[in-house]
């Protein structure tokens, strides 16, 4: 996966955390677009493809 993939990641991401609950992986991270640093959530079933 190339980084940054989205504009809101243009200045990087930090603090990634992955938790598995049953058969789903949850990835939380903070992204920085140069002004804001909101938190994000992505989910995956295989740790390769995230939504």
Q: 2 vs 50, which has greater pLDDT?
A: 50
- Which of left, alpha, beta for 27 (phi over 0: left; psi -120 to 50: alpha)? beta
Residue 28 structural domain: 7-44
Is residue 20 one of the residues assigned to a domain?
A: yes
Is residue 19 one of the residues assigned to a domain?
A: yes
For residue 2, is pLDDT > 60? Answer: no
Is residue 27 one of the residues assigned to a domain?
A: yes
* pLDDT digit string, tens, across residues 23-49: 999 999 998 888 888 999 999 999 999
pLDDT at 3 (0 to 100): 64
Q: Into how many domains does the chain fold?
A: 1
Is residue 2 one of the residues assigned to a domain?
A: no
Tabulate helix, strand, coil % of the chain (nearest 5): 5, 45, 45
């Amino acid at each position: 996966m190339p980084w940054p993939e989205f504009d809101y990641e243009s200045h990087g991401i930090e603090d990634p955390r992955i938790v598995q609950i049953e058969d789903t992986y949850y990835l939380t991270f903070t992204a920085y677009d140069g002004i804001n640093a909101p938190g994000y959530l992505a989910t995956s079933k295989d740790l390769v493809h995230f939504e």
